[in-house]
Structure 1
Amino acid sequence: MSDDPTRTIPEKPTPDQLRRWRRYLANERAEAEVYRELAGKRTGEEREILLRLADAESRHEAHWRDLLGSEVGQPGKPDLRTRILGGLARNFGSVFSLALMQSAESRSPYTNDADATDQMSADERIHAEVIRGLATRGRERMSGNFRASVFGVNDGLVSNLALVIGVMASGVAPQIVLLTGVSGLLSGALSMAAGEYISVRSQLELLDASTPDPDAQKAIPELDVDANELELVYRARGLGEGEAAAKAAAVFARLGELDDAPLIPTEDRPETGSARSAALFSFLSFAVGAFIPIIPHVIGLTGLVAGVVSLILVGVSLLLTGGITGVLSGRPPLYRALRQLGIGFGAASVTYMLGLAFGMIL
């Protein structure tokens, strides 16, 4: 792709341009290093892809270095976001680093910067899609139990915070608040565990019901070749009439080889995990989240102090779980973290007002 001929660079750059170019140069150098750090923790195709992305960032680095010329100065510091990415890549090299890189590439400033070339702007957009693909691989490999744990903790935080704050607002004794919080923890965790067990168990049973019966293959040699009801099996599985007939005829033609091939080729079953394991993870994760709002009451704090400490502990936890959820979903983590905080505190505000109302009535 050729560069836009309408983009011109003045012979004498302004101070603002020099500052911006030096910042871009530092960021490109740091992003190339991030990709190399991530590549060092991977093998095969993923390693090759990341190294090629690093090479592309180095080309962008050369563009800004050429524009700066003798004004390049000492190597500058990249922005805070890029430094954080570098730290994550060096110490973890996980899907979180890739997801954050995806977000960073998607928000490239080059599109609206006349000093960047059209090719550089296009590169950044394509880089975001490359990273999206790599991050998706990582998300798919990530344990389902890990995802369930994050969501379980979040549910426990919001539900028990709202419950405890509402009961506190009604003016009941501190012992009642603590008892209510512990009851909410146990009832919610047990409900989550039961729901997860039933969900996973039902999914396994549905998969079993859809899996071809291996004993049916033994009946094939006894079928009426002329009637060829085997064709109906393939048609019921979604094949067209002609394709089903041809497939059934091919099976009859090699009856002696049936032990080497299944009657109905089965698709790979999705990973569902153990129902008991899923239930245990849901119970523990919800319990951990639900325990945080009652920590102040467990250690003996009461009244306003207990409420403020509970809100602080839960607020920090909501920001953390919201940020992790944002990364897992490929969205900017800060927005998701703040949204989760707003939802949690919003729920607590509603129950607090209801608690005040009931307290005045009682």
Structure 2
Amino acid sequence: MTVTPSPTEIRRWRKYLADERAERAVYQDLANARSGEEREILTSLAEAERRHEQHWLDLLGEHAGKPRPVAMRTRFRCFLARHFGPVFVLALMQRTEARSPYSADIHATDTMAADERIHEEVVRGLAARSRIQLSGSFRAAVFGANDGLVSNLALVLGMAATGVDTGVVLAAGVAGLLAGALSMAAGEYVSVRSQRELLEASAPNPEAQGAVPHLDINANELALVYRARGMEATESVSHAHEMLAGLPCTHDGAPEAPPAEDAAEEHETLGTAWGAATSSFLFFASGAVIPVLPYLFGLSGFTAVLVAAVLVGAALLGTGAVVGVLSGASPLKRALRQLAIGFGAAGITYLLGLLFGSGPA
């Protein structure tokens, strides 16, 4: 006997149906933009969502109605997938899969609830791949800009609160921008340069390869090289004998030198020190210039302070949301946390400025 669903059940099932269609559309859009293994995985996820969609269609029957229009949220995610790569969308989809209500709904099968749990882990793995592939310079841009926003807002508000002339506040803001950006650039240059030098110092000398054919096989000095690189004594001797025994011979019977190995094997590409320094300078300056804008456009006093705070607040919300998406956390929570930290630092310096000065000019 067929049981007619209640109006509440119909509304809930239609919502589930719309959600499954939306998720399938996002996964399919992501799959269309990828290739190889990732395309196959995303296509399989889209097909799983299609099976879930059919389940709700079967339950609804004649109550399914017309498909709902594509939600703005789904359109936005598809737009991100097509134009900014999968990392943002996958992070959002990971959260969507984690919030699946199927485990607590008797009308969803155990298989569907299990699917959603597994989908969360699949999407988590794909998102982790994308985060690794994401350019380090992008992350540096977000954090560098955030540093500039917070430090220069604190400096500008602190100076403004002392009651000094607007020109002094502007000069302090520009000086803070240049000092912070130059400091960041210098630190990044030294960091990248030092790391490259350490890697170069640790790389094997290619000229040592030419000595291998002339080693005394019985003394086996080559084993010492492998022991110095961390092998056990027995393993190093065995590996050295295999190395020497496997070398091709020259025309006079002597073994040939092995081919030189890549000295930069498997380590992270650092880029140039000057490139890193330039990027750091620009990233910091892009954030630090925002608190100065009201003063550059002729505002003064509390009006300038308020406008600077609003502009920086909006930027902090943006950078915090991006950090939240990239880390797989709630964009809203990360945005509000970023805002609280930035305004907290600026508020403290503003209060100190009031303490030592006479109020905004």
TM-score clears 0.5: yes
Task: Please say if 1:139 is aligned against 2:137.
Answer: no
RMSD of equivalent CA atoms: 2.1
Partner of 2:299: 301
2: CA distance, partners of 1:60 / 1:259: 62
**1:79 deviation in Å?**
5.8
Contact 1:197 1:278 in 2 (8 A): yes
**1:264 deviation in Å?**
9.4
2: CA distance, partners of 1:317 / 1:67: 47
Gaps of 5+ in 1: 1-9
Partner of 1:175: 167
Contact 1:23 1:78 in 2 (8 A): no
Structure 2 CA distance for partners of 1:264 and 1:343, relative to 1, 3 Å: closer
Task: Please say if 1:208 is aligned against 2:237.
Answer: no
Which deviates the most, 120-129 or 105-114?
A: 105-114
- Normalised by the length of structure 1, the TM-score is 0.91
Structure 2 CA distance for partners of 1:77 and 1:342, relative to 1, 3 Å: farther
Partner of 2:310: 312
Partner of 1:325: 323
Contact 2:30 2:78 in 1 (8 A): no
1: CA distance, partners of 2:87 / 2:48: 21
**1:266 deviation in Å?**
7.1
Partner of 1:37: 29
Residues 207-261 of structure 1: CA distance to partner in whole angstroms, max 9, x if unpaired? 1122111111122233332221211111111222222111111222244465443
Contact 1:26 1:75 in 2 (8 A): yes
Task: Please say if 1:118 is aligned against 2:110.
Answer: yes
Contact 1:27 1:78 in 2 (8 A): no
Which deviates the most, 277-286 or 261-270?
A: 261-270
**1:286 deviation in Å?**
0.2
How does 1:272-287 map onto structure 2 within 5 Å? 272-287=270-285
Gaps of 5+ in 2: 250-254
2: CA distance, partners of 1:76 / 1:344: 41
How does 1:149-298 map onto structure 2 within 5 Å? 149-255=141-247, 256=249, 258-262=256-260, 267-298=265-296
Partner of 2:252: none
Partner of 2:11: 19
Structure 2 CA distance for partners of 1:23 and 1:78, relative to 1, 3 Å: farther
Alignment-mate amino acid for residue 37 of structure 1:
D
- Match of 1:338, SS state, is helix
2: CA distance, partners of 1:266 / 1:142: 21
Contact 2:151 2:288 in 1 (8 A): yes
**1:315 deviation in Å?**
1.0
- Match of 1:108, SS state, is coil
Residues 118-143 of structure 1: CA distance to partner in whole angstroms, max 9, x if unpaired? 22122112112212222222222222
2: CA distance, partners of 1:263 / 1:142: 28
Contact 2:158 2:349 in 1 (8 A): yes
Partner of 1:86: 78
Partner of 1:7: none
1: CA distance, partners of 2:185 / 2:104: 50
Alignment-mate amino acid for residue 338 of structure 2:
Q
Alignment-mate amino acid for residue 6 of structure 2:
T
Residues 265-289 of structure 1: CA distance to partner in whole angstroms, max 9, x if unpaired? 9741211111111110000010010
Q: 1:347 aligns with which of 338, 345, 348?
A: 345
Contact 2:213 2:257 in 1 (8 A): no
2: CA distance, partners of 1:218 / 1:71: 80
Q: 1:107 aligns with which of 99, 102, 109?
A: 99
Residues 25-50 of structure 1: CA distance to partner in whole angstroms, max 9, x if unpaired? 01101110111111111111111111
Which deviates the most, 110-119 or 165-174?
A: 110-119
Structure 2 CA distance for partners of 1:196 and 1:265, relative to 1, 3 Å: closer
Alignment-mate amino acid for residue 347 of structure 1:
A
**1:348 deviation in Å?**
1.0
Partner of 1:4: none
**1:83 deviation in Å?**
4.4
Alignment-mate amino acid for residue 274 of structure 1:
T
2: CA distance, partners of 1:160 / 1:134: 37
Task: Please say if 1:28 is aligned against 2:8.
Answer: no
